[in-house]
Amino acid sequence: MNESILLDPTAERAPAERARLARPDSLNGKVVGLLDISKPRGNVFLDRIEEQLSGMGIEVKRYAKPTFTRIAPTELKQQIAAEVDLLVEGLAD
């Protein structure tokens, strides 16, 4: 059976496309995570971001994936979700 089309079980009050999470109005009081996916020089980019955020008085936490070739380990994802409000990651080198 083709399962690529589903019928909406809801009252259809939300758009058919899922909306992205709303961006916060301000970073005040937020904790920002910086995820290094372990591609070369990603740390250079993230070091600079940290420098700027810290300069604004925003708390920053750093994380790194063991390798960019695989998705992040579950433990790391859970740790990030528990510790930060936002996450920035450098996707390419």
> What's the number of CA atoms in the CB half-sphere (13 Å) around residue 53?
23
* Least distance between another protein and beta carbon 17 (Å): 9
Q: Which parts of this chain interact with another protein (CB under 8 A)?
A: 1-13, 16, 18
* Least distance between another protein and beta carbon 14 (Å): 9
* Least distance between another protein and beta carbon 71 (Å): 12
CA 44, chain centre distance (Å): 18
Using the 8-state DSSP alphabet, how is residue 84 labeled?
Answer: -
Nearest residue (CB) to another protein, 14 versus 44: 14
